[in-house]
Amino acid sequence: MTKLTYINLSDLDLPEFEAHTNIDDNKLLEISESIKAIGVLEPLLVRKIKKRFEIIAGCLRFRASRLAGLKAVPCIVLSIDDKQAEVIKTHENLKRVSLDHIDQGNTFIMMIEKFKMTEEDISKIIGKSISYISNHINLVSQDADLSAAVKNGSLSFSQARELLQVSDLPTRKQFQAYCQNEGATVRVLKQWISDYKSSQVINPTPESDTPEQINHYPATYDSRNCEACIKPIPSGDIRMLILCPTCHHALKQAISEEKQKEPPETPK
């Protein structure tokens, strides 16, 4: 039977590699208030290193307990090596307190470099597909600008994954800026990238030391009708507006009322 031991917070150390790089202060405070009220319900997983203990799982509980003013917390001491410790940490972080996409990518890279694990090894451990592992690794290792945008929430992981298909950096940055500034959906972005790739096959960009900046978005063969004037508009020229259903209905109603105020057309 696993033995539960209370260990002083002063004898516990955070791991050398902590997966969570951004800790939400509100979340930490919420856990802290819960601990003040009912205590630490789930013990921390730790391992002994010399005369101290390294936390394997439970870093948030450790921080929240310290914030709550506790002197000691319940722990389970495991006798495991470095690799086993990282496997347990990764499993807990992905299954319980979700890591963001960038932290996941960095964690996968660390497991490959430090423990010589393959993407298939990681896939089996965390229950995710190999392509899921590859996509996260590619994001954090290929484009720091994209990674930062996903980290701060101005770009979704799905958008970043599509943008990585564009090898020409100026074009990729242009698409990225349009996604961030105009709110282009993944569906529209896929269409742009598909048309861009088709145009490159027909008219490949000439090689040069300083590639020209593209000053327009690729023409598309797909179009939608404008909800205001009903005119068809190519997907590449669509301007996105993010609205909740209530505001969307109100806007369409306002457009309809405005149209009714217009004088009838003069017969030819």
| Per-residue pLDDT reduced to its tens digit, 71-100 | 999 998 998 888 888 888 776 666 555 678
Q: How far apart are the first and last CA of the chain?
A: 92
**What pLDDT sits at residue 38?**
81
Summarised one tens digit per residue, pLDDT across range 130-144 is: 999 999 999 999 999
Tell me if the pTM is above 0.85. no
pLDDT (0 to 100) of residue 137: 94
Q: Does domain 1-81 have CATH number 3.30.750.210?
A: no
Question: What's the rounded Cα separation, in Å, for the pair 73 and 56?
Answer: 14
DSSP 194-208: HHHHHHHHHSPPPP-
pLDDT of 29-65, one tens digit each? Answer: 888 888 888 888 888 999 998 889 999 888 889 999 9
* Spans of all domains in the chain: 1-81
- Structural contact between residues 12 and 55, judged by C-beta atoms closer than 8 angstroms: yes
Confidence grade of residue 158 (pLDDT, cut at 50, 70, 90) = very high
Nearest to 59 by CA among 34, 33, 84, 96: 96
In whole angstroms, give the CA distance from residue 126 to residue 116.
Answer: 16
Provide mean pLDDT across the span 165-188.
88
CA distance 95 to 215: 44
